[in-house]
Structure 1
Amino acid sequence: MTENFNYLFQYLEKENITIDKTEFEFQIQSHPAYPSLLSITDTLSFFSIDNLATRVAKEQIDDLPTQFIVYLNEELNPPGLFFIEKKGENYSILKDKNTNTISLQELEQRWLEIVLVVEKQEFEPTKIKKNNFIGFFISLLIPALGGVLYSLNATAKEILFLLLPIIGVLFSVAALKDLFDAKSELLNSFCNMKASTSCDTIVGSNKWKIFEIVNFSDLSMVFFSFQFIGLFFSILTNNIDSFFMLQKILLVFAVPVIFASLYYQKYVEKKWCPICLVIISIILLEFGYLLVFQKINFTIHIQSILLYGLVFLSILIAWLGLKKLLTSQKELKEFHFKDSRFMRNYEVFRNNLMAYGKMQLPETPIIIGNKDSSLELALITSPFCGYCKETHELLEKILFKNQQYLKLRILISADIDSINEERKTFFRILMSIYLQNGASSFLEALTNWFTNKDLKKWLESYNHDFEREKIDSIYRLQNQWCIDNKFYQTPLIFINGYSYPKMYERKNLVYFIDDLMEDKF
């Protein structure tokens, strides 16, 4: 079960900070310390949101901002994080969409001194465009369904009954929300409205051995799907009476299942599942519907039994196959999270980084950032390398955020004596831009090149004087070092002289920067 971060998202919204919630949840679940406070602060930092987690005594509550997050004691649950907003003399506290108002004295009694605050962004956040495919699909499905029913001359009573299994299927999907990866704050609030309610506890329980084979959610999904498709078949074949007769039989057999579900919730798990209770209510409504509107004689033909048996068997096989596929995808996702946590563990990264020893890199005049920093990133690159653009963008992003705390040395791999004259001029001008105009002009020229990669236009834009012998000697030194150490491909990253581990993707470097800045090696 994943952690609910509604309190954090509410806080960020109050601070006018927009964040991609899905991406946030993926990144934080990949953190090796998930779901700790450290994982929250690191993930906020990953999204470039300035934040601070610190200890604050209860006597200093009045000195805090009007909005913040804090650890508080709970009466029936372990301590947790809450979003706090000061309103006059009182405080509003929020968690899991439940909002309460407490006094300063009550807050002090529950206070655990650990506070998280974020800093407002000065720029207008980029709005995230959400994919509304499901809403679009439903908007097309409803009129299409209505058109089919109209063409089949379905009666109002038949349409009324059809609505019940449709609702049943929707709530069955809701009961299996973890399997379908259907996240909904409203659904979470509905399932956890009281301390005595929990859909996840009931749906995920297997205290009865039979649940290892089939559970209540499977039964409801197959049952309502069969009703929905079966009614269509009955309207199409003009065999309504046989369908409703069969429903009476099935609903009679559903009664023991209902009692078993209620018993299991009340006495085995001692928790109520609101979604399960809604599904039970739908079945009882169907029973009432048949008693009131479908007073038919008990007659059913063998052909009808075979037809509906085939429909039921097809739905059952389809559901079991779909469930197996969804379960495999869920397990794969969970494995990916665990793998990401391992790969983002700093100690593991550090051990791999230092496994092959430190190298003495050649001299280069191109140093960007804080030249006195103890943390040095070095990049061996080539402007004509197909993979170097992405690495340059990554390192520039890291440097922009942490330029006071690290330096970036850039070594350019170029065999200045064997390339054509046009490229020689390009490399000499590029080096000369840094030597004469500094880091900003150099990065601007390099970015322009990676963006357009038009050599003639670039040379026209950056017509620059250069000292050929001095610059060529720099390139020869760096190129010979690469040859001597058998570094023939670019880009290559070094951290304080240690080669970046091959088992890590270069983009993962952002996860370790904070630890690298604190480490001394």
Structure 2
Amino acid sequence: MGIILLWYEIDSHNPVIQKICSGNKNINCNAVLGSKQAKFLFETLSWSEVGFSYFSGTLLFLFIHNFSTSSLSLISWLTLFSISFVFFFFVYQGLILKQWCRLCISIQAILLIEVSIVFYTNWYKIAIDFILIPSLIAILFFPILVWKTIKFAIQKDKDSRFNRRNFLRLKNNTSVFFGLLKESKKIEYNTENIGLVFDNEKTKYSVVKVCNPYCNPCAEAHPVLKELLERELIELQIIFTSSPEKDNEEALPTRHLMALAEKQNSKLLHQALDDWYLANEKDYEEYAKKHPLKDEIKTQTKKLKVMKDWCDLEKIQHTPTIFINGYQLPAEYEISDLKNILV
């Protein structure tokens, strides 16, 4: 029962707890456990924690001392002392608050049962061994210290999840996103007839992806943009940063893709992009075997130069750089966030 009270402290809105703690107008755990009298020592300690400490601490004390008669005697007197708390909470709930807490009543009932056992067994008549008192005090404090540590970790995690949930709600708000987008860097130079273009007349979102064929983050962005394209939420333009020099082997995949685009086969081009960006290893020789070309690859220098010049003019600093409707994706957003925003 003490554990349920602690559970209430960290998750009072839990449906199970609410079911236990509600019933009619006179049953209200929130009113009792949320009142000023439910906490003391500058509100650092709650009666729920004291109850947990009492039950777990006394049980631990008895186990440590093998339920010896001297330990039973000391616990018996502590139990008799608890009658004052039973009386206090009955008066407080019934006469002052006029609200009852089922959990608190259960605790009081258990204490009264313990008192009855003490009188029945006459353990309180056994002489107290005062040497055991420091041990009892230390053991009673131990559960509180353990619980405070656990509670802090649980509350920290709960707050973190709550803050993240609120942050995501704010982050995925389209008004917030487009407000930040309008404050971002704007494309200054024309992108017409540059790179790979996948048109979509139905959408209101135009995405420009500036990338490098050997860039891992570019590869991670590919499936996200592909999904948005397939859902007809965006039109996509891919501009490569590859240098146009003929001896630049890193530009070979770019040349290959630009040559494939000349075939004007959208399905083939999509597959070629998948085969390159989704591959575990970027092996151009194997890739070229899968998508064979003749001499078309050698005639792509001008296209690469146009793309490289555009990247230099726009001062592209990293890849991938994403532009939405002509504005650079704000730094606060990941490309994966677009799936929740561009709807």
**TM more than 0.5:** yes
Please say if 1:277 is aligned against 2:105. Answer: yes
Pairwise CA RMSD: 3.1
Structure-2 change in CA distance of 1:318 and 1:174 (3 Å): closer
Please say if 1:319 is aligned against 2:144. Answer: no
Structure-2 change in CA distance of 1:249 and 1:296 (3 Å): closer
Deviating more after overlay: 430-439 vs 243-252: 430-439
Deviation at 1:217, TM superposition (A): 1.4
1:481-518: CA deviations, max 9, x gaps? 1112221310111110011111223332233223xxxx
Q: Higher helix share goes to which structure?
A: 2
In the other structure, the counterpart of 1:385 is 215
Larger RCO, structure (CA 8 Å, separation 6 or more): 2
In the other structure, the counterpart of 1:371 is 201
Name the CA distance, whole Å, in 1 between partners of 2:251 and 2:214: 12
2:275 corresponds, among 410, 430, 448, to 448
Structure-2 change in CA distance of 1:354 and 1:267 (3 Å): farther
Name the CA distance, whole Å, in 1 between partners of 2:291 and 2:150: 59
Name the CA distance, whole Å, in 2 between partners of 1:343 and 1:424: 37
Name the CA distance, whole Å, in 1 between partners of 2:179 and 2:126: 76
2:326 corresponds, among 492, 497, 515, to 497
Deviation at 1:263, TM superposition (A): 4.4
Tell me if structure 2 keeps the 8 A contact 1:375–1:496: yes
User: AA paired with 2:286?
Assistant: K
Name the CA distance, whole Å, in 2 between partners of 1:174 and 1:333: 18
In the other structure, the counterpart of 1:411 is 239
For 2:322, what is the secondary structure of its paired residue? strand
Output the TM-score relative to the length of structure 1: 0.57
Q: How many residues align?
A: 338
In the other structure, the counterpart of 2:136 is 308
For 1:286, what is the secondary structure of its paired residue? helix
In the other structure, the counterpart of 1:253 is 81
Gaps of 5+ in 2: none
Tell me if structure 2 keeps the 8 A contact 1:199–1:275: yes
Deviating more after overlay: 223-232 vs 263-272: 263-272
Name the CA distance, whole Å, in 2 between partners of 1:418 and 1:481: 19
- 1:121-520 equivalent positions in 2, closer than 5 A: 168-178=1-11, 185-194=15-24, 196-206=26-36, 210=40, 212-235=43-66, 239-266=67-94, 271-293=99-121, 295=123, 297-356=125-184, 358-359=186-187, 360-363=189-192, 364=194, 366-368=196-198, 370-400=200-230, 402-403=231-232, 405-417=233-245, 420-421=248-249, 423-436=250-263, 438-449=265-276, 450-455=278-283, 456-465=285-294, 467-468=296-297, 471-514=300-343
For 1:378, what is the secondary structure of its paired residue? strand
Tell me if structure 1 keeps the 8 A contact 2:73–2:128: yes
Name the CA distance, whole Å, in 2 between partners of 1:384 and 1:296: 81
Tell me if structure 2 keeps the 8 A contact 1:380–1:412: yes
Tell me if structure 2 keeps the 8 A contact 1:362–1:477: no
Output the TM-score relative to the length of structure 2: 0.83
For 1:436, what is the secondary structure of its paired residue? coil
Gaps of 5+ in 1: 1-167, 515-521
Percent identity (aligned): 22
For 1:387, what is the secondary structure of its paired residue? helix
Name the CA distance, whole Å, in 2 between partners of 1:353 and 1:310: 59
Name the CA distance, whole Å, in 1 between partners of 2:138 and 2:246: 75
Q: Higher strand share goes to which structure?
A: 1
Deviation at 1:197, TM superposition (A): 4.0
Tell me if structure 2 keeps the 8 A contact 1:432–1:465: no
Structure-2 change in CA distance of 1:259 and 1:394 (3 Å): farther
Tell me if structure 2 keeps the 8 A contact 1:366–1:434: yes
Deviation at 1:276, TM superposition (A): 2.9
